[in-house]
Amino acid sequence: MIWKERTLGFVATIAIIGSDTDSSGVMNSIIRFIPFYKVIVRGLTLFMFVYVIFKVYELYKSKKIKKEFIVFYFVPLLFTSATVVLVNLFRGEGIILSLSELIWLGTPFFFLWVFGSRNFDSEKSFIRLLVIQASISIIVLILGPITREINGATYSYILGGDIWENLGPIIVQAKISFGNFDKQSLDVMKFAQFHNPNSLGVYATAFISTGTYLLIKSKPKMTSVLVALFLTLIGIITWFNSLTRGPIFMIGLVFIAISMRLIFCLKTRSKVIVLVCFFLVSFIFREKVFEILNHFFLNLGNISILSRLDGYAYAFEAIFSNPFFGLPIDFQNPVPHILPLKIMTYYGVIAGISLSIPFIHITQHTLKRFSRELSKMSPLNSLYPTLLVSIVLGTMLTNGVVVYVLFWIMLAESVASLDLVWSNIEALKKKVE
């Protein structure tokens, strides 16, 4: 995979065996045998990042890349990346820690994936990556203690202090949960190979979205159907073992919009029948409905809300005290969970605004295209990038970046799928079989 598809394969391989967030358990297990493994992975990533930056600029000068991509994605993300490194160097963090912080932000993976989409079918590569990650995730969850060496929870409790010393082994051994909406339960605080439950949750929503997309895509082959069913099933199981809210809520809004549009097109009698069935089913399963609503629409006393409010308060305090460079990262203080706000807190307002530009642009472009196609009852062409953007926004607004490889791959895949990069449209045609 890495040899055949070059940068796409490289990024996918990092996600599977070399990321602090997307494959924490696997990576830390490898480090036991190759002590400098993390240094090697990060060094290769940064080398390829610099190489791709120059190649993208050359392609732009030869008019093979759209100016829109350069203005709204290339320049803002490159500026933010440079700011992160330079501010850390100015604070005396040293070159290794400064560049490591850039890896934790994850922007290099966006550039690498976009560049790879020019010559290869990036959608197929993305789906293959999800299938591999889904397979590892379900194996880790089912086998539990047997796979503790590659379970992200193992390394989280080793590194996480007194509380995790007690909780870690319990979580690794906990049974698989299904239908439980109690996020504080240890049975649903699963990690799989990732570094926290929300990382598993983001991947779970990607599994569900991709599986659903493949199922409803026109004229699928049997292999596509099997892949679709596998990803959807594993996505549902893994989501119930993480219960992450933001991404699943956002993709839910997309499917609600499609459902409402379909109902709107029905005749009056059919509309009444559908509504009656909806309220009848809701009444029969009202207890479960209340559980779902309580899970997504939290009261202000919930610890999840309170911790985020504390993070936002600290963010504004940091921004007002030093708007141009922010304050150094100190995990003794609450962490802002909104990505641009986090960058403003640690690296200044200008860096945070710069980082926001790509997300604002992709949101506007996606909504415009999806709404136009939905009004014509043909939303399939833009459905997949819309779902990916929804996951990105849900993650960005509730957790920041919890899977720094997948997060930027999804943004890059959305940008490429919506024809926002390459001047040669033919190079962007997707034929997933």
Over residues 313-338, mean pLDDT: 87
86 token code pair: 């330079």
The one-character DSSP state at 422 is: B
At 266 the three-state DSSP class reads: coil
In angstroms, the CA 324 to CA 363 distance is: 27
pLDDT of res. 165: 67
Give 71 or 153, the one with higher predicted confidence: 71
Q: What angle do CA 240, 395, 390 make, to 5 degrees?
A: 90
Element (H, E) at 268: helix 268-284
C-alpha gyration radius of the chain? 22
CA 360, chain centre distance (Å): 17
- Does residue 380 surpass a pLDDT of 80? no
pLDDT of res. 432: 38
Cα end-to-end distance, the chain, whole Å? 18
pLDDT in tens, 160-193: 666 666 777 888 888 888 888 888 788 888 999 9
Instruction: Name the residue type at position 206.
Output: A
Please state, in angstroms and as integers, the Cα–Cα distance from residue 189 to each residue in 71, 137, 141, following that order: 41, 14, 11
pLDDT category of residue 113 using cuts at 50, 70 and 90: very high
DSSP string, 58-96: HHHHTT-B-HHHIIIIIHHHHHHHHHHHHHHHHTT--HH
Location of structure tokens 């504004």: 316
98 Cβ contact partners less than 8 Å away, ≥ 6 residues apart = 84, 85, 86, 88, 89
Tell me what percent of the residues of the chain surpass a pLDDT of 90: 56
- Give me the chain's average pLDDT, please: 88
Please state, in angstroms and as integers, the Cα–Cα distance from residue 368 to each residue in 364, 372, 382, following that order: 6, 6, 10
In angstroms, the CA 110 to CA 108 distance is: 5
- Strand-pairing partners, residue 422, are 65
- Residue (of 68, 115, 103, 106) closest to 362 by Cα position: 68
Q: What angle do CA 259, 265, 271 make, to 5 degrees?
A: 75
The one-character DSSP state at 405 is: H
- Residue (of 164, 58, 57, 46) closest to 96 by Cα position: 46
- Does residue 224 surpass a pLDDT of 60? yes
In angstroms, the CA 176 to CA 144 distance is: 9
The CA dihedral of 298, 310, 204, 159, to the nearest 10 degrees, is -130
pLDDT category of residue 428 using cuts at 50, 70 and 90: very low
Element (H, E) at 162: helix 162-173
14: left (phi over 0), alpha (psi -120 to 50) or beta: alpha
Residue 263 has phi, psi (to 5 degrees) of -65, -40
CA pseudo-torsion sign 430, 64, 420, 343: positive
pTM of this structure: 0.92
Q: What proportions of the chain, in percent to the nearest 5, are helix, strand and coil?
A: 75, 0, 25
Neighbouring C-beta atoms of residue 361, cutoff 10 Å: 18
In angstroms, the CA 177 to CA 175 distance is: 6
In angstroms, the CA 257 to CA 382 distance is: 14
Most confident of 95-99, 243-247, 304-308, 406-410: 406-410
192: left (phi over 0), alpha (psi -120 to 50) or beta: left
- Strand-pairing partners, residue 65, are 422
Location of structure tokens 């919506």: 418
pLDDT of res. 159: 67
Over residues 338-362, mean pLDDT: 95
Over residues 106-121, mean pLDDT: 93
DSSP string, 305-325: HHHHHHHHHHHHHHHHH-TTT
pLDDT category of residue 431 using cuts at 50, 70 and 90: very low
- Residue (of 142, 58, 38, 80) closest to 351 by Cα position: 80
pLDDT category of residue 218 using cuts at 50, 70 and 90: low
The CA dihedral of 117, 120, 124, 127, to the nearest 10 degrees, is -50
pLDDT in tens, 41-74: 999 999 999 999 999 999 999 999 999 999 999 9
- Does residue 298 surpass a pLDDT of 70? no
pLDDT of res. 2: 52
Over residues 415-419, mean pLDDT: 91
